[in-house]
Structure 1
Amino acid sequence: MNLNTSPSALTNLGPLAQLRAGRLPERLLRLLVGLWLYGFSNALLMYSTLGGSPWVVFHEGAARHLPLSLGTIMVLVALVVLLLWIPLRQMPGLGTLANTLLLGPFTDLNLQLLAVPETLALRWVYLVGGVVVCAIATALYVGAQLGPGPRDGLMTGIARRAGGSIQRVRTCIELVVLALGIALGGVAGVGTVVFALGVGPITQFFMRYLVLRLDVAPAVRNT
């Protein structure tokens, strides 16, 4: 179903209420397709070699100061972000768990399936395609309303509580994370800037068409 871009279109349900909200097979399919596409987007952006997403820059910067692997740092950052959900009253769910467990393997698999671009023009195609696919993937799996991933939950939680648009909140988060990553020594590129400035507006556009409206009684909503 189509809906407007207001954050109120996203319900904030507990884990069990999310599963009972109806249209579960369709929502599970959207969740899995969205996470697969997110992994595909990651692979496109990484193979473009024109600059990673702001979160990648942040993780790389943090790795310069901690005796931990990049993957371990990503897990720790995700846990810290989940703590930020508490004051936002953002509810986790199956989608949150799926994001944590599946996004990495989906990214690895797509890296194996994709060919490495050999020309600058094709690298730019990978970059632009990665940003667009990331926006579609985000709208799909967040719009399934089974609980967003840690970073996207921060985005939707702030948007709902503060009354801002998804576009504005996501862009602000990406820019703040990018600045912190550069300050820590992470390496950014032109692709990082394109991602930070482009993914918010494009996600906002696709949220209009890919978020499912759920028929949930007011009593079971969490406020």
Structure 2
Amino acid sequence: MQKMMKRYFKLILGFFIFAIGIVITINANLGYAPWDVFHQGVGNILNIKIGTANILVGLIMIIVGVLNGKKIGIGSILNMLLIGAFINIIMSNNLIPIFLNTYIRLITIPIGMIIMGFGTFLYIDAGFGAGPRDSLMIILIEKTNKSVSFIRNAIEITVLVMGYLLGGPVGIGTVIISLGLGFAIEFVFKILKFDPKAVVHRGLNDEIEGVKSLFKI
């Protein structure tokens, strides 16, 4: 039980740190990451906060994953709910300043990406299931038999274009994040000597069986 609680703490901490990284890149005010351009675009159309749009899009991704037979873990659901909620909390309470100096804004973007890398490490290492958007990538790889880089780039370009058409903010920061986030995450994984392929994820059935065992149902 204590071991499981530590894993849940790592999972939730990972989501919070990831949300901090996202808000730092947003507050650099040089253009959002592709998915955040899309989230903001959805937010513009539905008149909701970007974090709420993040949750809504994540829910759709989970439904798509379930319909395609993907294993959904408690981490997938919490990813959908908590990252968006944390973004709303951080931004609503101005916990991270909006950066005005151009040089500082340029510096904060890679800092935000590195922080997202640490958040990614924590929530993947917890082993509670892939994130909703990761599931979409896996589905498309399986259906098209294309490479990871091709599918990832295709998804990023698609959501970027859709987000831009919906009024999401695009700028030099968008380009930097699009080209650099994968490298930033890989850099963090190398520092921590972390292999995400070695993580064995728990599904919802595992959590249900764990609860039954705990309460001897």
What TM-score do the two structures reach when normalised by structure 2?
0.72
Structure 1: runs of 5+ lacking an equivalent:
1-18
Q: From the superposition, tell whether residues 33 and 74 of structure 1 become closer, same or farther in structure 2 (CA, over 3 Å).
A: closer
Instruction: State the AA in 1 paired with 2:72.
Output: P
Q: CA-atom RMSD, angstroms? A: 3.4
Q: From the superposition, tell whether residues 202 and 67 of structure 1 become closer, same or farther in structure 2 (CA, over 3 Å).
A: closer
Match of 2:117 among 131, 135, 140: 135
For 1:24 and 1:164, the matched residues in 2 are separated by 36
Higher helix share: 2
Percent of aligned pairs with the same residue?
Answer: 28
Match of 2:126 among 144, 165, 169: 144
Matched, 1:58 2:58: no
Equivalent in the alignment of 2:169? 187
Instruction: State the AA in 1 paired with 2:87.
Output: T
Matched, 1:115 2:97: yes
Instruction: State the AA in 2 paired with 1:213.
Output: A
Give 3-state SS (helix, strand or coil) of 2:106's partner: helix
Structure 2: runs of 5+ lacking an equivalent:
207-217
Equivalent in the alignment of 2:210? none
Aligned residues: 197
What TM-score do the two structures reach when normalised by structure 1?
0.70
Q: From the superposition, tell whether residues 25 and 62 of structure 1 become closer, same or farther in structure 2 (CA, over 3 Å).
A: closer
Give 3-state SS (helix, strand or coil) of 2:127's partner: coil
Question: Residue deviations 1:50-80, cap 9 Å, x none?
Answer: 111112211333345x444245544432222
For 2:195 and 2:4, the matched residues in 1 are separated by 15
Give 3-state SS (helix, strand or coil) of 1:113's partner: coil
Tell me which moved more, 192-201 or 46-55: 192-201
Equivalent in the alignment of 1:213? 198
For 2:148 and 2:5, the matched residues in 1 are separated by 26
Give 3-state SS (helix, strand or coil) of 1:51's partner: coil
Q: From the superposition, tell whether residues 110 and 81 of structure 1 become closer, same or farther in structure 2 (CA, over 3 Å).
A: same
Matched, 1:92 2:72: yes
Equivalent in the alignment of 2:106? 124
Equivalent in the alignment of 1:8? none
